[in-house]
Structure 1
Amino acid sequence: MRRLLLAILLLPVFAFSQQKDLIKYVNPLIGTQRMGHTYPGATVPFGMVQLSPETDTISYEKNGKYNGDVYKYCAGYQYDDKTITGFSHTHFSGTGHADLGDFLIMPTTGPLQLNPGTADHPESGYRSTFSHQNEFAQPAYYKVKLDEYNILAELTASNRVGFHQYTFPKSDQAHIILDLMAGIYNYDNKNVWTFVRVENDTLITGFRQTNGWARTRTVYFAMSFSKPFVQYGQQNFSNNVYKGFWRKFDQTKNFPEMAGKQLRAYFDFKTEEGEKIKIKFALSPVSTEGALHNLRTEIPHWDFDKVKEDGQVLWNKELNKIDVESLSMDEQINFYTAMYHAFLSPTTYMDADRKYKGLDQNVHLAENFTNYTTFSLWDTYRALHPFFNIIQPKRNSDMINSMLAHYDQSVHKMLPVWSHYANENWCMIGYHSVSVIADAVMKGNADFDVNKALDACITTARNRYYDGLEYYMQLGYIPEDKNSSSVSKTLEYAYDDWCIAQMAQKLNRKDIYDEFIKRSENYLNVYDASTGFMRSKLSDGTWKPGFDALSTHGQGYIEGNAWNYSLYVPHNPSKMIELMGGKTRFVKHLDSLFSMHLPDEFFAETEDITRDGIIGNYVHGNEPAHHVAYLYNWTNEPWKTQDKIRMILKKQYRPTPDGLGGNDDCGQMSAWYIFSSLGFYPVAPGSTEYSIGSPAVKSAVLHLENGKTFKVETKNQTDKNVYIQKIELNGTLLNRRFITHKDIMDGGKITFYMSAKHP
């Protein structure tokens, strides 16, 4: 009995010891240069707090023009910058639009300055120069030396609490600045209101209400210092601060309540050489009481190293879900950094007591699921959520429950399109929640009411007021003279409708299947056989004149051109190939896409596509083409898929700050890398099939939540051996160009025999 008890006690230790230390292969600085738009700061998997440095300030001038490049700073940090303005608690990872950057904290010494200054003259404000030689980032930890003040800044985090540790020099003028004006995409009217309450000499609470990309976003906080401050104060840039009875008080110094649209507060300390001032900063979507509860629940102590270690244990647990052996250290780093980026979002959006603010701005309780936000669905339905259905099925099911809660709270009765922080941004096109839901239903990962979910999909797809759907339902396409980006929308709606049809068929709802399988063929209505491209029509049924297959503006496409979008029929590649002249002609078309030379005018006319992420006219940096290299599998030359996949992996992903060839888009670019490195990819989420590519790993073991393992094994694997001679699944020759979800989830082994010559 004693031996049995000892064995039980040692089991968790033994299990943990079997995990590899994989965080050493993660470099959060990958993607922080140019267009990757990732952040290097501290967070835990799917964490609500993303504590990271800001390297510049973005605002609008009074004339309405940008003061700075707002697109450049979607994540708040650019590797090429030389200064840091502070450390804020909320960030998007890899997006092409900006928001967040809440509650910026900056430690300083010397005479107090309450403006950020400029990058050219950092001494004019509180910002500081820094060097990458004194910067270090890894999962759940970031540190940098602030040269201007000789302060070492260290950051870590739990799910809902950011933990700062600042090592000061000896100073009688040490300050912690709390800037509630700072923010990403911070135009003049973003702040609706801010409020700070000094509870005592170590505890601060408050909130920030903003009108940015999210129109009605309120975030509450609780901020706790490890030692009492000696005094505090504020500088309030609001025009109405001193009106009314408040003029009876001097609010600028040691006044316990601060409020206004434009507010910066400061807290003064006296420090000894090498003294550490620590700050715990908790967030809540509900209340300051909720923030305090989060703080006391998640980090009830002041042990910075413990919080860091706890966060890294969480990261190692997630990273160990795939045990991969790569051909090189560079590829090992690329793979695990891609996993890291894939597990940054969607983000937790509820307090420790499970309360959260809903789309209706009321407080709700997530009783049987974790509530998530940050749904960049136009991007992530393609590979990220299918990846979750394999590696994170429980989380993905909770994400869908979060989408269904969003639907219940929506006055429009719409599933989310691009939502964050109890807001719908309506960004990009399609209604791709239905793709995520269908993929989970078809793959048996549906811990939710599937018929209710299908009803939500149907209602969303029938909403005649949404983005051209009225014309789509009436005409079978969207006319460009009535609604822009008409071709892209028609094609993406058709795919989403196919997803609804698949669910309906599985759930034996024939009337719904018949309706939506017919709608899924609407792509036929925008194919112009005379040009060989999908092309915009007018409301009278004629083709819009002035067609230009290379142009990205005014032709009916979004984030792409006719070459990219004409290949977007993921649910029926065979029919698309037939439309475009058959397999032989289609192969030549695909070959041209990858090899053609784009004129300089192409880059001059567009702001959303640059030379980053482009191979020929294949735009890997924008998602509509992510399935395209796999389309050779529907022709007589599938080996060209294998060649193109390995080329893209090499050209578009590198273990460097500029190593992502486009926005990571909340993990979509990274999920593409993971799937493609393993040798298969979900061309049409909602199908249970994964198209075969060319594995780049030597081997990989997927540890599934059902307790089984699926092993990817390669024979004769090298950088040059990119072609598959044969595939065995569990020892039996595989005579198809795909594997199924069941093949993976049942466990087993797939073996690829590689060669330098194609068959």
Structure 2
Amino acid sequence: MKIVDLIDTRLGTNNQYSIGKGNVLPITSAPFGMNHFVMQTRQNDVRFYHPNDASNMGIRITHQPSPWMGDFGFINLNAFSLTDEVYQQVEAASSKDSLFMAHQFSGYRASDATFQPNRLTFERLRDKLYIDLIPNVYGAQLSIRRHFQERLKHPFFSIGIAQTGFLRVSEDGLTVTGYTNQLSGSKYKAFGTYFNFHFSQSVTLYHQTDYSEEDHPMTAYYLELQDRATSEITINFAASYISVEQAAKNLDTYLTAYPTKAAQLAQITDEWEAYLGKIEVTHTDHERVKTFYANLYRTALFPQTAHEIVDGQVKHFSPYSQEVEPGYFYTSSGYWDTFRSNYPLYALLIPERIPEFINSILSIAREDRYLPKWLSPDERGLMPGTLVDGVIADAVVKGLVDTNDAQELLEAMIFNADIPSDHELEGREGGHDYAEYGYLPADYHESVNKTLDYAYSDFCIAQVANYLDQTEIAERYYARSLSYRHLYQDDLKQMVAKDREGTFVKQEVAHRWGQHYTEGSAWQNSLSVFHNVADLIDLYGGDQAFYEHLEKLVNSEPLYETGGYGIEIHEMIELAIQKFGQLAISNQPSFHIPHLFIYAGYPHMSHIVLKDLMLNVFGPDINGYPGDEDNGSLASWFVLNSLGLYSVTPGTEQYVLGISIWKEATIHLDNGNKVELISSDVEPYLNIVQSRTVNGEVYTKQYVTYQQLMDGLKLEQRLGMIPAIQAIAESDRPYSLKNNN
């Protein structure tokens, strides 16, 4: 059995507005592909697929990174067949719109459908059409097979695009080209999808109908297939962000290399096997293995490819300059989400791709001056801070960026930090006030989170400068990275907003959400000092006091007040229903919190919390996540932590050691080496690591470096039930700026 056969892409799809079990779509795609292919079961709903729906309305070619972001450049596809009787009704009708729209819906048996990364198949029960889609990096092959019945004589194929787009059918009826340009939001509003469909039999444009999809004015074009006897129709599709002609080239290039359905299926299966096979895990519980690979699959969906090969060169259409520019471009990515877990994982699994991701960031800096924050397709400016700095610093310090690019990146980071933008979506909001006061004053929305994120970004700037031996710059930004200290209120043991006079804003309860905090309260967001946990511990009063604070956080009632939000948002409910106290692992600000016991000297407490989360909160089914699985960030969190590794401080070489849940796990590195992770047992009640060896030698440090991992190592952990009372030595604890100056 291939690994890809273990994966059901419906993981985490049982969602609604008020609560997320992942808030994701069942995506079929090439790894990091330009287009995602998803069955559509609902119209006029950003959650346009739901696993409990019994009918469908075809397939959407989507670029939606999150239901909270909306979609862009999407295309709705469907195939259906009419009986003679219905066809005659259509022919006679003065308005054909409602008749056509009605026949796009059909029941399907979800249990008989295939939802896999490399293939999407289902049967329309209305007319017994069997749909089979095989994806590739720029498009897909769609085959439609008719279980031929005498009454089903009139096959149609529909393509839904924006009313502002266009669609053309070639003279021979074998090629359909066009353009669609829906945007749910962007700065420049100049981005769309060009397409090329090549049919195995001739089609004619029979009718078109206007409709609405998530407030986007759309047109459905109904193409009648002329050969009514053929049992199988094949449609090859490719997209481009550059031109209709480039879409045709993308299609021709792919079909030349993989001319048959068998060859295309073999190719996409090999691509997924190559990615998924980079990690092998074994466990006595097969469901845990399925959960692992379902999560590993999700780590390879974002960011999405938005560059193409033009005359042998990598180029992209820039939404910033509105020209075709040289270089890579990846979109559909929120760096606030992904710097924490995705990119430290990619550094291990696909280090050869990191330069592409970094080149994409550089492309945006060159074309727009400012570094990206949240792309869909261009800047959306969401979430606090400019945490792409963490992605950059992590790549630089791990030696995955050449010196010239690192210098250009440093200059872009400094510009982004210090030069205010005239557009609210870009740069650091209130950057000058942050530099003047040492914190962002309380009259800025989410001022606490922005201050802490700016401080971490300053650390990242310093790390890159230090790597380039630019000591003066490094020292300046290391000093600024301590800005979080201004907001610590000792009597409350919290980070609290300050006004411009330096007075703390009154904080009534620690569990009040919003206003000064992002998607959480002071409980979660006060601990976002990724680069200097040892100093944070000192602020809290030392190891014992900090441990007691963490213990209280985990054991508290999961209370919340709607606070600045004024309404109950889904993250609040997700916090409360998990019953892990104030540890909202459902959202990014809490990703590192379970590891903080280690920094206080008590790693066993981290092991207990981490193992509980991994065994009890994540699963392989439609309820697979405790909250939003944003761009692969929560999936990456699970993958890394299930291996006993996590990067608390991206921008350093260290991976903190937690607790592996696997009997054996092997990471196959691209350089030919391997990381072997072996456990004495996998029983759920064995929830602490008593001791470790690395390459046969006793190992007491609570971290390993990137270089250690890339050189290959064998780490064995011996598990137990009862934690030790004695704290570990400070010299064995993970990185903090305080201990490394």
TM-score normalised to the size of structure 2? 0.88
The residue number in structure 1 matching 2:299 is 342
The residue number in structure 2 matching 1:194 is 165
**Count of aligned residue pairs for this structure pair:** 685
Take 1:122 and 1:83, find their aligned partners in 2: how far apart are those partners?
A: 16
Deviations 1:114-154 (A, max 9, x none): 9998xxx9984622232322222122101112223322221
Take 1:355 and 1:605, find their aligned partners in 2: how far apart are those partners?
A: 45
Take 1:223 and 1:463, find their aligned partners in 2: how far apart are those partners?
A: 46
- CA separation of 1:458/1:433 partners in 2, compared to 1, >3 Å: closer, same or farther? same
What SS does structure 2 have at the residue aligned with 1:174? strand
The residue number in structure 2 matching 1:223 is 197
Q: Give the letter aligned to residue 59 of structure 2.
A: F
The residue number in structure 2 matching 1:281 is 237
What SS does structure 2 have at the residue aligned with 1:619? coil
What SS does structure 1 have at the residue aligned with 2:62? coil
Which among 399, 415, 434 is matched to residue 389 of structure 2?
Answer: 434
- CA separation of 1:83/1:470 partners in 2, compared to 1, >3 Å: closer, same or farther? farther
Q: Within the alignment, does 1:54 sit opposite 2:32 as a pair?
A: no
Kept in 2: contact 1:383–1:671 (CA 8 A): yes
Take 1:688 and 1:657, find their aligned partners in 2: how far apart are those partners?
A: 35
Which among 276, 281, 285 is matched to residue 328 of structure 1?
Answer: 285
The residue number in structure 1 matching 2:379 is 424
- CA separation of 1:524/1:600 partners in 2, compared to 1, >3 Å: closer, same or farther? closer
The residue number in structure 1 matching 2:719 is 754
Kept in 2: contact 1:161–1:298 (CA 8 A): no
Map residues 136-147 of structure 1 onto 2, 5 A cutoff.
Answer: 136-147=114-125
Take 2:398 and 2:556, find their aligned partners in 1: how far apart are those partners?
A: 38
Shift of 1:703: 1.3
- CA separation of 1:697/1:724 partners in 2, compared to 1, >3 Å: closer, same or farther? same
Q: Within the alignment, does 1:527 sit opposite 2:482 as a pair?
A: no
Which among 599, 608, 624 is matched to residue 589 of structure 2?
Answer: 624
Deviations 1:249-292 (A, max 9, x none): xxxxxxxxxxx964221111266678122222211010000000
Kept in 2: contact 1:95–1:665 (CA 8 A): no
- CA separation of 1:749/1:96 partners in 2, compared to 1, >3 Å: closer, same or farther? farther
Q: Within the alignment, does 1:28 sit opposite 2:9 as a pair?
A: yes
Deviations 1:621-656 (A, max 9, x none): 110110000000012322000000001102221011
Kept in 1: contact 2:29–2:118 (CA 8 A): yes
Shift of 1:377: 0.5
Take 2:701 and 2:395, find their aligned partners in 1: how far apart are those partners?
A: 23
- CA separation of 1:626/1:546 partners in 2, compared to 1, >3 Å: closer, same or farther? closer
Q: Within the alignment, does 1:380 sit opposite 2:350 as a pair?
A: no
Take 2:407 and 2:323, find their aligned partners in 1: how far apart are those partners?
A: 26
Take 1:212 and 1:661, find their aligned partners in 2: how far apart are those partners?
A: 26
Shift of 1:522: 0.6
Q: Give the letter aligned to residue 44 of structure 1.
A: A
Deviations 1:174-211 (A, max 9, x none): 21111114xxxxxxxxx6x2111112311111111233
Kept in 2: contact 1:115–1:125 (CA 8 A): no
- CA separation of 1:96/1:211 partners in 2, compared to 1, >3 Å: closer, same or farther? closer
Deviates more, 1:523-532 or 1:484-493: 523-532
What SS does structure 2 have at the residue aligned with 1:309? helix
Q: Within the alignment, does 1:581 sit opposite 2:538 as a pair?
A: no
Kept in 1: contact 2:205–2:221 (CA 8 A): no
Take 1:581 and 1:718, find their aligned partners in 2: how far apart are those partners?
A: 36
- CA separation of 1:232/1:304 partners in 2, compared to 1, >3 Å: closer, same or farther? farther
Shift of 1:345: 1.3
The residue number in structure 2 matching 1:443 is 398
Shift of 1:37: 2.5
Take 2:420 and 2:560, find their aligned partners in 1: how far apart are those partners?
A: 40
Take 1:82 and 1:536, find their aligned partners in 2: how far apart are those partners?
A: 49
Shift of 1:606: 2.8
Q: Give the letter aligned to residue 536 of structure 1.
A: A
What SS does structure 2 have at the residue aligned with 1:407? helix
Take 1:204 and 1:703, find their aligned partners in 2: how far apart are those partners?
A: 43
Kept in 2: contact 1:105–1:176 (CA 8 A): yes
Kept in 1: contact 2:511–2:559 (CA 8 A): no
Take 1:705 and 1:506, find their aligned partners in 2: how far apart are those partners?
A: 24
Kept in 1: contact 2:339–2:388 (CA 8 A): yes
Shift of 1:678: 0.7
TM-score normalised to the size of structure 1? 0.86
Map residues 476-495 of structure 1 onto 2, 5 A cutoff.
Answer: 476-481=438-443, 483-495=444-456
What SS does structure 1 have at the residue aligned with 2:505? coil
Kept in 1: contact 2:242–2:324 (CA 8 A): no
Take 2:14 and 2:65, find their aligned partners in 1: how far apart are those partners?
A: 13
Deviations 1:693-741 (A, max 9, x none): 1111111111112221111111233222121111111111112111111
- CA separation of 1:597/1:540 partners in 2, compared to 1, >3 Å: closer, same or farther? same
Take 1:601 and 1:402, find their aligned partners in 2: how far apart are those partners?
A: 40
Q: Give the letter aligned to residue 560 of structure 1.
A: G
What residue ranges of structure 2 are gaps of 5+ in the alignment? 422-427, 725-741
Take 1:471 and 1:56, find their aligned partners in 2: how far apart are those partners?
A: 46
Deviates more, 1:456-465 or 1:637-646: 456-465
Deviations 1:199-236 (A, max 9, x none): 23111111112332233321111111111125533235
Shift of 1:237: 6.5
The residue number in structure 1 matching 2:320 is 360
Shift of 1:310: 1.2
Which among 240, 246, 250 is matched to residue 290 of structure 1?
Answer: 246
Measured on the aligned residues, the alpha-carbon RMSD in Å equals: 2.4
Take 1:398 and 1:326, find their aligned partners in 2: how far apart are those partners?
A: 35
Deviations 1:511-555 (A, max 9, x none): 21122111100101111112111111122221223533111132x
Take 2:263 and 2:23, find their aligned partners in 1: how far apart are those partners?
A: 29
- CA separation of 1:459/1:80 partners in 2, compared to 1, >3 Å: closer, same or farther? same
Map residues 309-328 of structure 1 onto 2, 5 A cutoff.
Answer: 309-328=266-285
Take 1:599 and 1:645, find their aligned partners in 2: how far apart are those partners?
A: 21
Map residues 486-525 of structure 1 onto 2, 5 A cutoff.
Answer: 486-525=447-486
Q: Within the alignment, does 1:590 sit opposite 2:553 as a pair?
A: no
- CA separation of 1:97/1:644 partners in 2, compared to 1, >3 Å: closer, same or farther? same
The residue number in structure 1 matching 2:134 is 156
Map residues 13-162 of structure 1 onto 2, 5 A cutoff.
Answer: 21-34=2-15, 35=20, 36-58=22-44, 70=46, 73=47, 76-92=48-64, 96-100=68-72, 102-110=74-82, 111=86, 124=102, 126-162=104-140
Take 1:219 and 1:432, find their aligned partners in 2: how far apart are those partners?
A: 28
Task: Among all aligned residue pairs of Structure 1 and Structure 2, give the percentage whose two residues are the same amino acid.
Answer: 26
Shift of 1:95: 6.0
Take 1:42 and 1:232, find their aligned partners in 2: how far apart are those partners?
A: 30
Shift of 1:470: 2.0
Kept in 1: contact 2:191–2:319 (CA 8 A): no
Take 2:73 and 2:654, find their aligned partners in 1: how far apart are those partners?
A: 40
Which among 227, 233, 241 is matched to residue 207 of structure 2?
Answer: 233
- CA separation of 1:305/1:32 partners in 2, compared to 1, >3 Å: closer, same or farther? farther
Take 1:153 and 1:276, find their aligned partners in 2: how far apart are those partners?
A: 10
Take 1:600 and 1:536, find their aligned partners in 2: how far apart are those partners?
A: 19
Q: Give the letter aligned to residue 570 of structure 1.
A: F
Take 1:530 and 1:27, find their aligned partners in 2: how far apart are those partners?
A: 49
What SS does structure 1 have at the residue aligned with 2:630? coil
Q: Within the alignment, does 1:463 sit opposite 2:419 as a pair?
A: yes
The residue number in structure 1 matching 2:731 is none
Q: Give the letter aligned to residue 562 of structure 1.
A: A
Take 1:94 and 1:756, find their aligned partners in 2: how far apart are those partners?
A: 40
Kept in 2: contact 1:89–1:162 (CA 8 A): no
What SS does structure 2 have at the residue aligned with 1:609? helix
Take 2:341 and 2:521, find their aligned partners in 1: how far apart are those partners?
A: 22
Q: Within the alignment, does 1:180 sit opposite 2:161 as a pair?
A: yes
Take 2:528 and 2:671, find their aligned partners in 1: how far apart are those partners?
A: 34
Take 2:100 and 2:661, find their aligned partners in 1: how far apart are those partners?
A: 45
The residue number in structure 1 matching 2:308 is 351
Kept in 1: contact 2:513–2:519 (CA 8 A): yes
